[in-house]
């Protein structure tokens, strides 16, 4: 069996295949046939056969010649033809050596797949001798070859030669000296901090003998950007942040202008603590216990990380009354919390608070509490405007003129009714005297009513407060007040409980009491009690008709609208004479309930009065 081509072709090649039996033997029952793989291409009853075939795909093509006698096939001979590509020019030839005492490794891109056996030989020349090394890698896309140890003083040229049955190609020559391709191992280094400084450190490292240049990059672990500096052996770094976790990375190279940098070697550590520098933000509340004692509650905000410069271990609070000797240091109040409450004699105090870490104390902050603040007027025209999204705009006018020097303002807020919370309660913010408004957002939630107070600061002293209620966003209450009724004079006394805070959903702006005769013919009478946040929750309703059944209920409103009714009371009033007075003329009428009951959810009968 023969073909008119070599054993290797490229796709698109047409080949002619022929098969001839020797000696020729004609037969009527047998024929000769050519097959591609197991598919018959052509057949003939003579002693020879031939056909053309177009190679369309890559890879090995197996052609066979067989005799076919009825249902029996016998292999006579065959031929294999491989289809592929000549090699591309090897590109991106590069060489690298890891460490000064290692061995170079060269790599290159092979280009498109050849699909047939292709050899790659690296020709390494030092100007005098040429060394040829064959690649042993089986990777079809990239070539790689390890060389023997080279001399640092010689200049080398590398050429990669590729060849197969369809052609050959040479790479462009790569010339280098060993100093150009050596990548040193990452240096091992240590970081030491001076006991007297938390912001400076010194670097020490061990590296390969020929490395002469180093670079350092560093960053706090909380940041993504690096600061980079050039280093010399045993150099120092300044300007670090105290008590901060840092990552330091160092790499090295042999020559300042040639060669490769090593990979980065990382080291993580935390800088030492330093004396706190921040000033505590301190606020207080004062409440008389009796004529001799008062309760002073102090609050302060924790220092920021940059101000604390370490882990705050404790706070020291000192009370000093004017004209009295300061308490000894051992009697100072020490706490790990950010608040302190003490019952002390009812006098004015200068209170000093400091924060302490392992290296020292922060600068002291003092406030002065006054029993008499009449000479320290409050801000005027305080208002609160809902801003939504958990924020409230608080505005005010400056206080009337005072002999005391105005130094700023404090805006304080807490939810109403105040509840215990893990954060310092109340929340507050201090502002300069030039500010006459503030948007408060810390711990502000929608659908909650807040009691907001604004104080003027006169040096270290807080003056009288001006207060207002405010909310970020409100909804109508989700429940109504629970009412109670009692016979009173010529009618009834209605009292009610405050709606639980979660169901108020804002600041309550007013109440409505509905009283309706049970004859179903008249609309209910509506009573609007005067509303003040801390006023007594009761209202006298007079001139009820004795013997007439009534239904009574109550609602509450916020700025968003009126909520649903609370419990419903069914009541009926009768008139009787007072005991011992008889029932004739001059007898005093005194009302009492025939019955009163809650329509929902239970019925309760009251005794006659």
pLDDT category at 136 given cuts 50, 70, 90 is confident
What is the rounded distance in angstroms from the CA atom of residue 200 to the CA atom of residue 272? Answer: 10
Mean pLDDT of 125-147: 88
Q: 438: Cβ–Cβ under 8 A, 6 or more apart, which residues?
A: 393, 394, 411, 429, 431
On whether both 107 and 60 belong to a single domain, the answer is no
Which span out of 402-411, 415-424, 465-474, 577-586 was modeled with the highest average pLDDT? 465-474
CA atoms of 444 and 469, how far apart (whole Å): 13
**Residue 317 domain flag:** yes
Give a yes or no: residue 48 inside a domain.
yes
CATH number, residue 48 = 2.60.40.10
- The residues that bridge with 554 in the sheet, in sequence order, are 513
* 276, part of any domain: no
137 with 32, same domain: the answer is no
Q: Residue 578 domain-assigned?
A: yes
> Considering 270, 305, 332, which residue would you say is the last residue of a domain?
270
Last residue of a domain, one of 155, 181, 207: 181
User: Is 477 inside any structural domain?
Assistant: no
CA 70, distance to chain mean position in Å, is 81
Question: Has residue 248 been placed in a domain?
Answer: yes
Distance of alpha carbon 244 from the chain centroid: 19
- pLDDT tens digits, 29-75: 788 888 998 888 888 888 889 999 999 999 999 999 988 887 788 88
Using alpha carbons, list the distances in angstroms from residue 281 to 364, 390, 410, 429: 11, 23, 11, 9
Residues sharing a CB contact under 8 Å with residue 17, sequence separation 6 or more, in sequence order: 1, 2, 3, 34, 41, 50, 51, 52, 53, 63, 79
Residue 62 contacts residue 82 (beta carbons within 8 Å): no
pLDDT at 266 over 90: yes
- From CA 248, how far away is CA 186, in angstroms rounded? 13
Residue 10 and residue 23 in contact, taking contact as beta carbons nearer than 8 Å: no
Which of 194-203, 359-368, 585-594 is predicted least confidently?
Answer: 585-594
Which range, 247-256, 322-331, 430-439, has the best average confidence (pLDDT)? Answer: 430-439
Q: Is 179 helix (H, G, I), strand (E, B) or coil?
A: helix
Cα three-residue angle 323-327-333, rounded to 5 degrees: 125
Q: Are 283 and 351 within 8 A, CB to CB?
A: no
Compare 361 and 331 and report the one with higher pLDDT: 361
Q: Where is the domain boundary, 449, 470, 491?
A: 470
**189/259 same-domain check:** yes
Structural domain contains residue 173: yes
Is residue 404, in this structure, part of any structural domain at all? yes
pLDDT at 475: 93
pTM: 0.66
Give me the pLDDT at residue 127, please: 84
CA atoms of 397 and 382, how far apart (whole Å): 7
Q: What pLDDT, on the 0 to 100 scale, is given for residue 594?
A: 52
Contact of 549 with 572, CB cutoff 8 Å: yes
| Same-domain check for residues 264 and 350 | no
Number of H helices, E strands in the chain: 3, 48
58 with 113, same domain: the answer is no
Same domain, 259 and 333: no
Instruction: Compute the distance between CA of residue 112 and CA of residue 429 in angstroms, rounded to an integer.
Output: 70
Residue 247 reports pLDDT greater than 90: yes
Instruction: Report the distance separating Cα 511 and Cα 530, nearest Å.
Output: 8
Q: What is the pLDDT of residues 549-606, one digit of tens each?
A: 999 999 999 999 999 999 999 988 876 544 433 333 333 344 455 545 554 433 232 3
Region 90-112: mean pLDDT is: 92
- Do 244 and 137 lie in a common domain? no
Helix, strand, or coil here: 327?
A: coil
Residue 445: domain span? 380-470
Please give the mean pLDDT across all residues of the chain: 85
Report helix, strand or coil for 573. Answer: strand
Give residue for tokens 């023969």: 2
Q: How many domains does the chain have?
A: 6
Q: Within this chain, do residues 124 and 198 fall inside the same structural domain, yes or no?
A: no
The pLDDT of 230-253, averaged and rounded, is 85
pLDDT tens, position by position, 439-460: 999 989 999 999 999 999 988 7
Query: What is the Cα–Cα distance from 445 to 504, expressed in whole angstroms?
Result: 13
Q: Do 341 and 390 belong to one domain?
A: no
Answer yes or no: do 493 and 581 share one domain: yes
> Is the same domain home to 594 and 500?
yes
Here the tokens at position 74 are 């016998």
Q: Is the pLDDT of residue 327 over 60?
A: no
Q: Does the pLDDT of residue 422 top 70, yes or no?
A: no
pLDDT at residue number 583: 36
Cβ within 8 Å of residue 293, ≥6 positions away: 343, 344, 345, 346
Sequence-distant (≥ 6) Cβ neighbours of residue 45 within 8 angstroms? 26, 27, 28, 30, 31, 32
C-beta of residue 18 within 8 angstroms of C-beta of residue 50? yes
* Residue closest to 413 by CA, chosen among 444, 458, 376, 373: 444
By CB neighbour count within 10 A (0-12 exposed, 13-18 middle, 19+ buried), where does 527 fall? Answer: middle
Interatomic CA distance for residues 180 and 260, integer angstroms = 7
Say yes or no: 355 and 395 in one domain: no
pLDDT, residue 608, reads 30
């Amino acid at each position: 069996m023969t073909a008119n081509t070599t054993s290797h072709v490229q796709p698109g090649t047409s080949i002619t295949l022929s098969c001839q039996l020797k000696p020729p033997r004609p037969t009527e029952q047998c024929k000769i046939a050519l097959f591609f793989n197991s598919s018959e291409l052509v057949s003939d009853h003579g002693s020879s056969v031939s056909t053309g075939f177009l190679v369309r795909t890559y890879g090995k093509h197996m052609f066979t010649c067989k005799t076919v006698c009825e249902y029996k096939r016998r292999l006579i001979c065959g031929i294999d033809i491989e289809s592929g590509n000549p090699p591309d020019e090897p590109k991106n030839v590069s060489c690298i050596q890891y460490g000064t005492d290692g061995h170079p490794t060269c790599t290159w891109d092979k280009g498109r797949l050849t699909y047939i056996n292709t050899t790659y030989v690296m020709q390494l020349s030092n100007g005098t001798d040429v060394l040829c090394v064959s690649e042993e890698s089986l990777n079809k896309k990239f070539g790689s070859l390890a060389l023997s140890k080279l001399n640092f003083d010689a200049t080398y040229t590398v050429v990669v030669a590729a060849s197969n049955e369809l052609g050959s190609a040479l790479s462009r020559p790569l010339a280098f000296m060993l100093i150009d391709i050596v990548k040193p191992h990452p240096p091992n280094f240590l970081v030491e901090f001076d006991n007297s400084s938390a912001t400076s450190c010194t670097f020490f490292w061990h590296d390969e003998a020929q490395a002469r240049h180093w670079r350092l990059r560093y960053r706090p672990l909380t940041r993504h950007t690096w600061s980079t500096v050039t280093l010399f052996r045993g150099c120092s770094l300044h300007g670090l942040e105290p008590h901060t976790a840092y990552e330091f990375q160092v790499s090295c190279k042999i020559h300042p202008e040639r060669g490769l940098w090593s990979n980065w070697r990382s080291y993580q550590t935390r800088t030492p603590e330093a004396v706190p520098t921040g000033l505590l933000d301190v606020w207080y509340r004062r409440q008389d216990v009796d004529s001799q004692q008062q309760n002073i509650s102090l609050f302060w905000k924790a220092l920021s990380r940059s101000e604390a410069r370490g882990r705050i271990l404790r706070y020291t609070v000192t009370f000093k009354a004017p004209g009295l000797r300061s308490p000894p240091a051992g009697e100072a109040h020490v706490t790990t919390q950010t608040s302190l409450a003490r019952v002390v004699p009812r006098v004015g105090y200068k209170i000093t608070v400091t924060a302490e870490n392992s290296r020292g104390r922060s600068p002291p902050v003092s406030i002065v509490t006054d029993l008499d603040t009449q000479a320290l007027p409050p801000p005027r025209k305080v208002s609160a405007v809902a801003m939504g999204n958990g924020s409230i705009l608080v505005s005010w006018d400056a206080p009337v003129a005072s002999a005391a020097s105005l130094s700023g303002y404090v805006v304080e807020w807490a939810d109403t009714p105040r509840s215990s919370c893990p954060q310092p309660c109340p929340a507050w913010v201090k502002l300069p005297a030039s500010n006459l408004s503030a948007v408060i957002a810390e711990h502000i939630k929608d659908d909650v009513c807040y009691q907001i107070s604004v104080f003027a600061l006169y040096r270290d002293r807080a003056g009288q407060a001006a207060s207002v209620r405010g909310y970020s966003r409100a909804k109508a209450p989700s429940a109504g007040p629970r009412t109670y009724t009692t016979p009173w004079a010529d009618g009834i006394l209605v009292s009610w409980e405050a709606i639980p805070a979660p169901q108020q959903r804002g600041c309550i702006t007013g109440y409505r009491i509905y009283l309706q005769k049970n004859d179903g013919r008249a609309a209910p009478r509506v009573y609007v009690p005067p509303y003040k946040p801390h006023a007594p929750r009761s209202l006298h309703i007079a001139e009820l008709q004795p013997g007439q059944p009534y239904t009574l209920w109550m609602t509450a409103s916020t700025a968003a609208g009126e909520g649903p009714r609370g419990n419903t009371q069914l009541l009926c009033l009768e008139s009787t004479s007072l005991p011992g007075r008889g029932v004739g003329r001059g007898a005093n009428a005194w009302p009492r309930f025939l019955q009163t009951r809650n329509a929902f959810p239970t019925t309760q009968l009251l005794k006659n009065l």
